[in-house]
Amino acid sequence: MLQFPSSWASRVCIGRLAPSGNKDLTTGFGSRDTTAVRKHPSVFKRLVYVYIGTSHYDADCKFYREILDARLVWEFKEFGARVAAFDLCGEPYLLIADHVPAPSKRLIYQVEDLDAAARELKHRGWKPAGGRFEVPDGPCMNFKDSSGNEFAILQMTRPHLLEKEFLKSRRVEGA
């Protein structure tokens, strides 16, 4: 068992941040309650996808399936693009796409209402990178932070459409 010098106890406050004024900034170790530090309610529901560009689509698919033992959730080959969704450890799914340059990553967050989320974020100073567009799961908008990191917000109006179609096509192939 690890032993820490008793002098550390006076300098370490386990599971809590140092108070700011009269406010304790946390509700305890490992807490996800961040209402004490948020200025606005979050428009983000959850992280749904991590979108990654690839310059070697087939080799990367093989890497995720065989080396990382990821489950292929769905694969899309239309309009000159190939995109595959992999389940490494549950959601968010990892999407690899040959129409996106490598290396690149885009975090895609689900929102309840795309237009309302965009309005609220614009009110706060957010600037979209392009306009609204459709993806199989629903309407989407891209944006970047001040460092150029890419993000997107997505309203899931057709959730898991590609997964359902992919599974349906697999059943037809297996019949």
SS3 assignment for 26-83: CCCCCCCCCCCCCCCCCCEEEEEEEEEECCCHHHHHHHHHHHCCCEEEEEEEECCEEE
Give the CATH number of domain 44-174: 3.10.180.10
Candidates 143, 159, 174; CA nearest to 85 is: 159
β-strand 93-97 against 44-53: which pairing, if any? parallel
* DSSP class of 6: G
The predicted-structure confidence for 114-153, as pLDDT tens digits, reads as follows 999 999 888 888 888 888 898 888 999 998 888 888 899 9
Residues in the chain with pLDDT values less than 70: 1-36, 38, 40, 171-175
- Model pLDDT, residue 174: 66
Residue 90 sits at the vertex; the CA angle it makes with 31 and 103, to the nearest 5 degrees, is: 95
